[in-house]
Amino acid sequence: MTISFKAALEPGLIDRLKSDHRFSSDEALGTAIRCTSAEVDELRRGGTPSYATALAIAAITGRDRLDFICRVTQAA
C-alpha cells in the first residue's frame, strides 16, 4: 500500500475569508488569493492550495505561519 499526502485549508476558511473581508463573490475572493473562482470552489471542497494562494491567504489574515493548511492522509 502506498500512502500519499494531500494538503487542504482548515474547514470553513474560504467562507470565513469571504464574509470577514467582505468579498462580494468567489471571483473577488479568487482575485485576492490569486486563483480563479472555480479554484475557490475547489478549495472550499478540500482542494490543495497553491503556494501563492497560501501566501495570499496568510497576508490577508495577518498570519505569519501557514498553520491554516492541514495535511490530509490518503491511502492510494
pLDDT in tens, 15-62: 999 999 999 999 999 999 999 999 999 999 999 999 999 999 999 999
pTM > 0.95: yes or no: no
- The structural domains of the chain, ordered by start, are 3-75 (1.10.260)
- C-alpha of 52 from chain center: 10
Separation CA 5–CA 14 (nearest Å): 21
State the residue for C-alpha cell 493548511.
69
Separation CA 74–CA 76 (nearest Å): 6
